[in-house]
Amino acid sequence: MTAGAAAPRAATGLVLSMRSEMGTFSTPSTTKLRCDPPGGLHKNANQACAALARVDGDFTKMKPAPDVMCTMELNMTRATLKGTWRGKKVSFEQDYSNPCVLHVHTGKVFDF
C-alpha cells in the first residue's frame, strides 16, 4: 500500500429477510447484500449500502422517509438483518404494521 492510500475496509456480508402475515411477503423473502463494493443478490445494493453507510451499519439510527403516507392496514411485517458490517457482527429484527411502513423506515435496505 502506498503512503496516504486508504486501508481496505473489512468485509460486509448481510442476509436480509422480510415476512408479513398475509399478501406478497407471507412466504419469507430473503436476499444477500455485500458492501465495499456493493453487490450480492440485492437489486438495490448501491442504495442499500449507501443508506447503511450513513449510519455506520447501525440500523437503529435510520430515519423514516419524510412526507410519505401509508395506509393504516394491519399486516404485521417482520424485517430481519444478520451478518457482518465492515467486520463487526450485526443483528436487527423489527416488526412493522405493514410493508409500506417497513419501507418508509428502512428505505432501499429492505427494497429487494
Q: Which residue has the higher pLDDT, 20 or 9?
A: 20
CB 33 within 8 Å of CB 90? no
- At the topology level of CATH, where does 12-110 sit? Subtilisin Inhibitor (3.30.350)
- What number is the average pLDDT over the span 52-62? 90
Is the model's pLDDT at 44 over the cut of 90?
Answer: yes
Give the per-residue pLDDT at 28. Answer: 78
Give the per-residue pLDDT at 26. Answer: 65
Q: Which amino acid is at 63?
A: K
Cα-to-chain-centroid distance, residue 11:
16
- What number is the average pLDDT over the span 23-30? 72
What pTM did the predictor assign?
A: 0.82
Q: Which sequence spans correspond to the domains of the chain?
A: 12-110
